[in-house]
Chains A and B, each alone.
Chain A
Amino acid sequence: MQEAMIKRAKELLADGTVNRVMGWKKGEFAYDITPAVFDTAEELEQDFVCDDLTQANVSKYLIKESRKEGRILAFLKPCDTYSFNQLIKEHRIIRENVYVIGIPGGPKIDVEKIKAKGITGILSVKNEDYTLKIETIYGTETMPFYEAISGKCESCKSKKHVVYDELMGEEGDVLDSNRFDMVEKLENMTAQERYDFWRGELSKCIRCNACRNVCPACTCESCVFDNPASGISQKAAADSFEENMFHIIRAFHVAGRCTDCGECSRVCPQNIPLHLLNRKFIKDINSLYGEYQAGADTTSRAPLTDYKADDCEPSVVHERGAE
């Protein structure tokens, strides 16, 4: 697939359809696949990467890129197209300035899961018939592919591209995913257990802002947490409450806009399952106000900017299940 992508990108550069290409290249380590913009065929030949480790959602980068001179080619996985569509809906991306090629999605590999097996010094990872062949500085290791599948791909919601100019590979369908299982499990705990769970998780937060910076819904020109006039701006998490405030408000600000791309949890250096907060909102929205998938279209009203006269009262929260 990578070769085909490079070939097509070079064609589009050559015929003037686009003047840049949004893709990925290797970062500091071979397995650190990082979004990158390529200007020439040579750069593409040299650095363009799209492999089993390529997880990053590039939609957010297209806000700035689509405002530059000319048109940019972007390769979007199915989950990325939801983010892209949502950003079009919010007038953040200028659609005409992006040429979208839909590429097949994962499952992708999370290198952290390989490292967790005690495999270090990784040089390259290859998937050979669902067995990962991992070259390290200490020699070759193997492990089953499915044991290294990225968390965000484990509960994949859709293999369908909601927006594209052309497709490479087969088009898939919206999937029945099990993505709300963990939310449900937490809901069934007692309040004390939930509190302990989240205190345990959120207290790990170091307020590095990686979740915010990677999130394609967190695209504010100026974030409330950086704005001294907002009254809640903070520099670092010095106390338990600030993590609460930060993560609740962040989840609330993206509620109804979050496409559940899973990038927040993927980039969290402390492995906090932040996506569960977003999924809680998504699950509540689906069950209280009707099924809604952010980014599935560009015209519908988002659940928080809409209402029905007979919506449920907040007391549903007090009335349901275990205390």
Chain B
Amino acid sequence: MQRIGVFVCHCGTNIAATVDVKAVAEALSHEPGVVISQDYQYMCSESGQDLVKNAIKEHKLTGVVVCSCSPRMHENTFRKAAASVGLNPYLVEIANIREQCSWIHKDIASATDKAVILGKAAVAKVHLNAPLTAGESPVVKRALVIGGGIAGIQTALDIAEAGFDVDIVEKEPTIGGKMAQIDKTFPTLDCAACILTPKMVEAAQNEHITIHSFSEVSDVKGFVGNFTVTIKKKARYVDETKCTGCGLCTEKCPMKKVPNEFNMGLDNRTAVYIPFAQAVPKVATIDPNYCMMLKNGKCGICSKVCSVGAIDYKQTDRFIEQKYGAIVVATGFNPIKPDKYNEFAYSICPDVVTSLELERLMNAAGPNGGTLLRPSDKTHPHTIVFVQCVGSRCDDEKGKPYCSKICCMYTAKHAMLIREKYPDTEVYVFYIDVRTPGKNFDEFYRRAVEQYGVHYIKGMVGKVMPRSDGKIDVQASDLLSNEQLHINADMVVLATAIEPDKTARPLATMLTTQMDTNDFFTEAHPKLRPVESATAGIILSGACQGPKDIPETVAQASAAAAKAIGLLVKNSITCNPCVAHSDELMCNGCSSCEKVCPYGAITYQDKEFRMPDRTTAVRRVASVNPAVCQGCGACTVACPSGAMDLNGFSNSQIMAEVDAICK
């Protein structure tokens, strides 16, 4: 038999002024199972809580209903009070008679009636409350960072700093990502390599960090605190442990006509290569698409010149399995290829380049050793036109609907650097808007205009036409003066939109995380939890979550590390007990629940059941992982048989509330 206590709070006059609290307590005292019904001035106060505690002890209460303010205010207070005297905290229910009653109604009679009904609903519900215990699940004290750009490196360094082991999985032969390709950084114009490469070395040397370069995540199982990840270490045909990075093989390799990805294909590399001088790990990789030895078994020069015998043509992909407590996604971005925009002539004119290509053209380690020359004839360009928002803020199929955020600033940087180094060069920037929110950003842009004399023109470039004399005719409209312009340019630079890396989508599926329509990872809450995904234990770092510049990326990377560390310092995770559970005897194994679960918390197994006729039958049944389930209840409605139910908000509890309100 239930023994329920009802406690009606006056909240000073907040409730008592419009609700006859004594009448409410009186009315609820007649409800079935109610053994004590009291009112008090401030139920949440120390003495109010004592009243509840004493009643629990004295009347051996099996359930408590507090008629007071919103459960969002004090549910926890009363749950803790109940727990302190040995009553399971989940046997406490709150009837919200302040925010949803006394504060919105003026008529005492109707407000009191409503308060009684809300109280009755809570009593009806508490009759069906079950004691719940929060489960615990252990945490593996190791983190995985997917992606080794500046975001991944920073996250890994911060996690390692806190003393936890962390692995970086990078799909390229070296870590460093996009930042390694950038020449200078805005708004300070310091050299990207000078600030990035020390961090790369630091990551490589940190005893807590393991770098899996030229590797990919191929499978993820498990849940927060206990992920099992399979990492594919792609064959690089070089034994990483032996290679010293001396580079002799790359010098001797006869296959010298391989487009160099690091320099955006603006020059060539050899088939065996080290992406750039400061690569980490500094280990050679053989490109099987070009290596003569791997293609037709003829050559083998690199193997002959390697003094340590690191070349291994027979190497195959290897798979390693590792357990992690937290996973940080730092898969970054890529600029889109502007080849769909025929009006910009990118595909047909070598002097129309993207901004990232310009970075390489201007970089001291780039194809021209840092001298800005036109790709077509290696001459110095005298007029350069920058086109903004190529594929950004675009409502057609070719581009992206969002603002890529970084282009305004890097174009100002490019313009400034060019004017600084080559004052005889005229620079035009065609823009829709110039967006420069950020510390010292607008000042930077204004310097480009005012101090460096960059011609900023609000307007669109309509057509870019290479001419027979090697010049490029740029047709554009100046929206402010309402004029059509023709500019005789030597080079055109397209500020292309950035998009999430292509590997992100399949990864999101593996991780059961959500993505938006643009393939950016969706954060758990856009304001309050911007670095976590909605899937527990999956944390987001850098541009995989949305366009970001370097300082923002680093800030988010450190925030992601903090979230990972917060998880890893725990020995176990306390789970929310208000989670779904499946009644195996009723489950059909139809997979409806699994399909609607946003967290991948539901799995199926074949189980043997004793049937009524004493035979056994194997049936496929759902089981919910309480560590992963967040308790939304989507599965409970998808389930046709009613096998799936939700702790704390069960079908029968909600139905009891409905009955109490309608009767």
A interface with B by C-beta (< 8 Å) = 67, 90-92, 219-224, 227, 229-232, 253-254, 257, 301-302, 304-306, 309
Contacts and interface: CB of A to CB of B under 8 A. Distances in A.
Contacts of B638: 304-305
Nearest to B642: A224
Contact of A231 (B618, B643, B652): B652
Given A219-B588, A231-B652, 8 more contacts: A90-B588, A90-B589, A91-B620, A220-B586, A231-B651, A232-B655, A302-B592, A305-B595
Contact of A92 (B590, B618, B643, B651): B590
A230 B642 contact: yes
A230 B651 contact: yes
A305 B651 contact: no
Interface in B331-356: none
Given A67-B617, A301-B595, A253 B587 contact: no
Contact of B586 (A67, A91, A222): A222
A90 to B, nearest CB: 4
B589 A91 contact: yes
Shortest beta-carbon contacts, A-B, top 8: A305-B595, A220-B641, A90-B590, A253-B640, A231-B655, A224-B642, A222-B586, A230-B642
Contacts of B585: 221-222
B596 interface: yes
B368 interface: no
Interface size bracket, B side: 20 to 34
Q: Which of B586, B589, B620 has the most CB of A within 10 A?
A: B586
Nearest to B654: A231
Nearest to B659: A231
Given A67-B617, A90-B588, A90-B591, A223 B641 contact: yes
B289 interface: no
Interface in B568-597: 585-592, 595-596
A227 B645 CA distance: 13
A302 B591 CA distance: 11
Contacts of B617: 67
Given A67-B617, A305-B638, A227 B586 contact: yes
B50 to A, nearest CB: 37
A302 B595 contact: yes
Given A227-B642, A253-B640, A220 B588 contact: yes
A257 B517 CA distance: 28
Nearest to B635: A305
A315 B281 CA distance: 59
B590 A91 contact: yes
Nearest to B584: A221
Given A91-B590, A92-B590, A231-B655, A220 B595 contact: no
B604 to A, nearest CB: 8
A221 B595 contact: no
Nearest to A231: B655
14 contacts: A90-B588, A91-B589, A91-B591, A220-B588, A221-B585, A221-B588, A222-B641, A222-B643, A227-B642, A229-B651, A229-B652, A231-B651, A304-B592, A306-B595
A129 to B, nearest CB: 46
B588 A92 contact: yes
